[in-house]
Amino acid sequence: MELAQLKEAVIAGDMARTKSLTEEALEAGIEPASILNDALISGMDKVGELFKVNEIYVPEVLLAAKSMQNAMGVLKPRLVDSGIQPRGKIVVGTVRGDLHDIGKNLVAMMLEGAGFEIIDLGNDVPAEKFVEAAVENDAGVIGMSALLTTTMHVMKETVEMLGEKGLSDKVKTMIGGAPVTASFASEIGAAGYGDDAATAVDLAKEFLEG
Amino acid sequence: MSMDLLELVNSRPILGDGAMGSILQERGFKSGDCPEAWNLDRPEAILEIHQAYRDAGCDYVETNTFGASTIKLARYGLDAKVDEIVAAGVDLARRAAGDTCLVGASIGPTGALLEPYGDHTRDQLAEAFGRAATVLEREGVDFYLIETMSDLNEAALAIAAVKEVSKKPVAATMSFTKGAKGHRTMMGTSPQEAGIELIKAGADLVGTNCCSGPEAAAEIITEMAQSTPLAVIAQPNAGLPELKDGRASYPESPEAMAEGAGNLLACGARVIGGCCGTTPAHMASMGSVIKGR
Ligand code: B12
C-alpha cells in the first residue's frame, strides 16, 4: 500500500478508490495522521495548484473534494482515537443577498481538507450571524465570500461589528470572491484576502497557527 | 412583428434586449430579493423597463423569468408560485412588445449543480425547466433564450425541455471567463466546444452573454464561430462592475458599447444585446450602429 496511490486517487477525484485505499492504508497500519497529511491533504494541495493555473476546473475540484470527504468519513473516528485535534475552527459563509456558493463551498472543502473544523453557515448570511456563530463556536476565523459587487458591503459590516464587540483580535476575517480585491480588504480592515481556495488555507494557517 | 427570430436574423443584424437585473437596483430592488417576484409585486416597474427597451429600438424584449424555475425560486420560498410568476412575466413582456418587437423567453440556470458534482439529478433539472417552458409556451412567447449557462449538461436539459413543448426557435448562450487557458465556462468548457454541443443539443443559434464586455464577447464569438456558423449571439455586460461610493457601477458608456457592437458585427455576430449594466441609453446607442448598417 502506497500513500502515493491514495494521493493520486484524490487528485483524480475517484471517490470509490479514495475510500477503499484509505481503508487499506488503515488496515496496513499506517498512521491516520500520515494518511491525512501525506495523501489526502497533499492531494488536495495539488488540486488547488492545478485549479489555480486552469489545468482543471470546478468539476474536477468538486470531485476531488468529495473524494476527500468520503475518505474522511473512514478516517475521522481513527483520528479522534489517536487524539489528533482539528487545527482550529473557521466559520464560513456567503454574505447576505448573495446566493453564489460554489466558490465558498470549494473554500470550505479545502479548509476541511487541510484539517480545520468548518462551521458552514451557507449563503445569504447577515453580519450578525457571522459574528454570533464565531462567538458561539469559539472560532478564530470568519471566512466570507461575495460574488456580487452589491453585497460586498456586508463584509465591511461584519468587520465593524467584530470591532464594536472588541473581538477584532480574537476573530480574524478573511474575504474572497470574484469582485473582491486585496485593496477592498485593507480598506474595510479585513485581516486577509484570498483569490482562491489554496490561499484561504494559507491565510487560515497564518491566523490560527501564526 | 410578422417575422420569426430566424427569418429576422437572416434579413439583418438584430438589436437584442438590455439588462433587467442591474436596472432593478435603481428602482429599489435589494440584493437578496427575488427579481422574478417583481412580475407579481411590482409589475408596473417591469413593464416600464420593457417599454423603455422597446422604445430604445430593441428587436425583442426578454421576459423577466431568468430565474423562474422551481429550483431557483425555492431559494426564496416562492417555488409554489412558479406558474403565476412565469405567466405574469410573459404578459408584461407581451404588453410592452405589442406589434413592435418580439418576445424572447428568458431561461437561466437553476443555480444547482448536477450530480456527481452537486446534489441534483438530471430528472430534477429537466422537470424544473419543463415546468417553466410549459407555461412560457402556453402564454405565447416568440422564441426561447437559454442564457448565462455554465454547464453544458444543464444547458442541454433546458434546450430539451423547451423542444418537448415548443417548435419555436431556441437560442442558447453561455457565460465565459478568461483565464490562463483562454475563455472557459466555470466548468471548463471552451467556446468552440460550447458551440458544437449546444447545436447538437438542438439550439438554433448560439453565443455568449454576461461576459466582461464587448471585447471579450468578440473574442468568444470568433472562437465559437470556428466550430459553427450559428455562433451569432453576443450579449455582453457594460464591463465588470466597480464599487463606487458603496454602489456597483458598470464602467462602459453607451458610446463605448456602440463601438463594441460595431466590432462584434465585424466578428460575425448577428444578434447583439446587452447584459448586466446596460441601460436603454446603451441599447439605443448600440442600435444606431447595428441598424445603421
Ligand atoms: C455560477 C454563477 C451563478 C449561479 C450561482 C450558483 C451557485 N450555487 O453558486 C446563479 C445562476 C444562481 C447566479 C445568479 C446570479 N448571478 Co451569477 N455567476 C455565476 C458565475 C458564472 C460563476 C461563479 C462561480 O461559482 N465561479 C466559480 C467559483 C469556484 O469561483 P469563485 O466563486 O470566484 O470562488 C473562488 C475565489 O473567488 C475564491 N473565494 C471565493 N470565496 C472566498 C472566500 C474566502 C474567505 C477566500 C479567502 C477566497 C474565496 O476561492 C474560490 C475558489 O478558487 C459568475 C461569473 C464568473 N465566471 O465568475 C457569475 C457572476 C458572479 N454572477 C453575476 C450576477 C450579476 C448574478 C445575478 C445577479 C444575475 C445573473 N446575471 O445571473 C444572480 C444573483 C443571484 C444572487 N442573489 O446571488 C455577476 C456578478 C457581477 C458583480 N460583480 O456584481 C457575475 C460575475 C457574472 C458577470 N460576468 O457579470 N450566478
Residue in A48, A45, A29 with CA at minimum distance from that of residue A37: A45
Number of H helices, E strands in chain B: 12, 12
Three-class secondary structure of residue A90 per DSSP? strand
* Residue given cell 491514495 in the structure block: A6
Q: Which of A147, A158, A205 to mutate to test the pocket of ligand 1 (most atoms within 8 A of CB)?
A: A147
Which residues sit opposite B208 in a β-bridge? Answer: B174, B234
Gyration radius (Cα) of chain A, Å: 17
Residues in chain B, total: 293
Is the shortest distance between the CB of A99 and ligand 1 below 6 Å? Answer: yes
210 residues of chain A, pLDDT tens digit each: 689 999 999 999 999 999 999 999 999 999 988 998 899 989 988 998 999 899 999 999 999 999 998 898 898 888 777 767 778 999 999 999 898 988 999 899 888 878 899 999 999 999 999 999 999 999 999 999 999 988 999 999 999 999 999 999 999 999 999 999 999 999 999 999 999 888 999 999 999 987
pLDDT greater at residue A86 or residue B222 = B222
Cross-chain residue pair B184–A59, CB shorter than 8 Å = no
Q: Which atom of ligand 1 is nearest to the CA of A179?
A: 83
pLDDT greater at residue A36 or residue B154 = B154
Strands A192-193 and B182-184: unpaired
pLDDT at position B2 is: 63
Spatial contact of B255 and B285, defined as CB atoms under 8 Å apart: yes
Tell whether B184 lies on the interface with A, counting CB pairs under 8 A: yes
**pLDDT tier at B30 (50, 70, 90 boundaries)?**
confident
**pLDDT tier at B244 (50, 70, 90 boundaries)?**
confident
Distance CA A96, CA A125 (A): 4
Q: What are B179's three cell numbers?
A: 483565464
Nearest Cα residue in chain A from B250? A149
> Does the pLDDT at position B181 exceed 90?
yes
Distance CA A24, CA A18 (A): 10
Percent of chain B with pLDDT over 90: 90
Q: What are A82's three cell numbers?
A: 489517536
Give per-residue pLDDT as tens, B93-151.
Answer: 999 999 999 999 999 999 999 999 999 999 999 999 999 999 999 999 999 999 999 99
Spatial contact of A13 and A69, defined as CB atoms under 8 Å apart: no
Residues 6+ apart with CB under 8 A from B241: A149, A150, A179, B22, B248, B249, B250, B251, B276, B277
Q: What are B265's three cell numbers?
A: 458585427
Tell whether A160 lies on the interface with B, counting CB pairs under 8 A: no
Greatest CA span in chain B, whole angstroms? 49
Provide, as residue numbers in chain A, all residues whose Cβ is less than 8 Å from the Cβ of B117. 58-59, 62-63
Spatial contact of A188 and A159, defined as CB atoms under 8 Å apart: yes
pLDDT at position B45 is: 97
Distance CA B149, CA B210 (A): 10
What value of ipTM does the predicted structure carry?
0.89
pLDDT at position B1 is: 58
Is the shortest distance between the CB of A56 and ligand 1 below 6 Å? Answer: no
Residue among B118, B241, B246 whose CB faces A153 most closely: B246
Is the shortest distance between the CB of A196 and ligand 1 below 6 Å? Answer: yes
Mean pLDDT of B74-100: 97
Instruction: List, in order of start, the domains of chain B with CATH numbers.
Output: 5-290 (3.20.20.330)
Element of type H or E holding B283 = helix B280-290
Distance CA A151, CA A128 (A): 15
Residue in A116, A114, A103 with CA at minimum distance from that of residue A43: A114
Bond preceding residue B116 cis, omega within 30 of 0: yes
Cross-chain residue pair B179–A54, CB shorter than 8 Å = yes
Instruction: List, in order of start, the domains of chain A with CATH numbers.
Output: 3-81 (1.10.1240.10), 89-209 (3.40.50.280)
Distance CA B1, CA B101 (A): 6
pLDDT at position B41 is: 97
Nearest Cα residue in chain A from B190? A57
Distance CA B286, CA A181 (A): 31
Distance B272 CA to ligand 1 centre (A): 24
Cβ atoms within 10 Å of B171's Cβ, excluding its own: 27
